[in-house]
């Protein structure tokens, strides 16, 4: 009986170790591919695809294969790009609190394997997007090249414009979603691209203000590091103001959407202007960052809901 209990105990311990190991592997992979970024970009990818179905008169349920290949492909291209970014940035990630525990910094994952994982993910994701349209695959690769080469390898370490350059790749997902359904030119994906492009500088500059000293230690020339908080706050306000007219190009989504989008823009601009009077710059930056996250989610969900009325 004692031997039987020992056997059961050993088996239970083995299961626990196996589960713990699986959780560790998943946690490390999630960190390497930046699963949070992947998930948030899939929201905008889906919105772009949904709007393409709506404006072209195609039916969502009759095109589930496109939905699968688009979301699968976009997720893998984005995840692969993030993995390559982690490989390249492993020397500076050690200086920042939010990045110093990444597997590429701690050494729990071999850097070369992370690089090849990223390349493989991009390759598989591109093939998946090719199952929709060539245009979608090309747009996905444009986003990857911009993020890896023009942002990570070039501007991030040398110019304060790195945020603007990085915004190009961040604005690509809704265009991937649209072109997977309709590869021809249309004003809607252009507006979606511009919304995403203009949203990112105030979002990431607010984060840069919060993490200013970490960026300084890592030698990354973010705007608040080089030119200070006052200029950064003014630039954030200008970027937010540029968002104001864009919802009106989507007037066909109806008055409720335009109302929600305009209120979101006015609220963000008001919060930005309020920051000119606030003495606690970091508190303001936190408010702006949190608002930007909610802004993006509400805006793109509102786009989808508007088509259901």
In this prediction, residue 1 carries a pLDDT of 53
In this predicted model, what pLDDT tens digit does every residue of 124-143 receive, in sequence order? 999 999 999 999 999 999 99
The answer to whether residue 4 scores a pLDDT higher than 80 is no
pLDDT tens digits for 222-275? 999 999 999 999 999 999 999 999 999 999 999 999 999 999 999 999 999 999
pLDDT tier at 2 (50, 70, 90 boundaries)?
A: low
pLDDT digits 0-9 by tens, 29-61: 999 999 999 999 999 999 999 999 999 999 999
Residue-level pLDDT at 19: 58
Output the CA–CA distances (angstroms, integers) from residue 150 to 121, 157, 169, 211, in the order listed: 20, 11, 10, 22
Distances (CA, A) of 85 to 17, 149, 202: 31, 9, 22
> Model confidence at 280, in pLDDT bands (50, 70, 90)?
very high
Q: Is the pLDDT of residue 108 over 60?
A: yes
CATH class of domain segment(s) 34-306: mainly alpha
Q: What's the whole-model pTM score?
A: 0.91
């Amino acid at each position: 009986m004692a031997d039987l209990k020992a056997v059961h105990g050993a088996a239970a311990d083995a299961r626990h170790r196996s589960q713990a190991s699986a959780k560790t592997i998943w946690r490390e992979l999630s960190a390497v591919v930046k699963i949070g970024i992947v998930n948030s970009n899939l929201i905008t990818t889906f919105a772009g695809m949904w709007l393409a179905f709506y404006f072209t008169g195609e039916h969502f349920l009759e095109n589930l294969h496109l939905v699968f290949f688009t979301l699968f492909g976009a997720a893998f291209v984005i995840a692969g790009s993030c993995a390559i970014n982690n490989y390249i940035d492993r020397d500076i990630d050690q200086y920042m609190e939010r990045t110093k525990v990444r597997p590429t910094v701690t050494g729990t994952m071999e850097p070369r394997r992370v690089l090849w994982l990223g390349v493989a993910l991009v390759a598989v994701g591109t093939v998946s997007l090719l199952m929709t349209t060539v245009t979608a695959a090309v747009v996905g690769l444009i986003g990857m090249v911009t993020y890896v080469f023009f942002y990570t390898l070039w501007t991030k370490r040398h110019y304060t414009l790195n945020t603007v350059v990085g915004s190009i790749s961040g604005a690509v997902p809704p265009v991937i979603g649209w072109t997977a359904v309709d590869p021809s030119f249309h004003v809607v994906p252009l507006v979606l691209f511009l919304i995403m492009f203009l949203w990112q500088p105030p979002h990431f500059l607010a984060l840069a203000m919060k993490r200013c000293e970490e960026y300084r230690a890592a030698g990354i020339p973010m705007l608040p590091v080089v030119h200070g908080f006052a200029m950064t706050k003014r630039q954030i306000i200008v970027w937010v103001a540029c968002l104001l007219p864009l919802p009106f190009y989507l007037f066909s989504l109806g008055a409720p959407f335009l109302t929600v989008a305009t209120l979101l823009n006015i609220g963000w601009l008001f919060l930005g202007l309020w920051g000119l009077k606030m003495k606690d710059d970091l508190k303001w930056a936190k408010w702006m960052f949190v608002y930007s996250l909610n802004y993006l989610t509400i805006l793109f969900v509102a786009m989808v809901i508007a088509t259901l009325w």
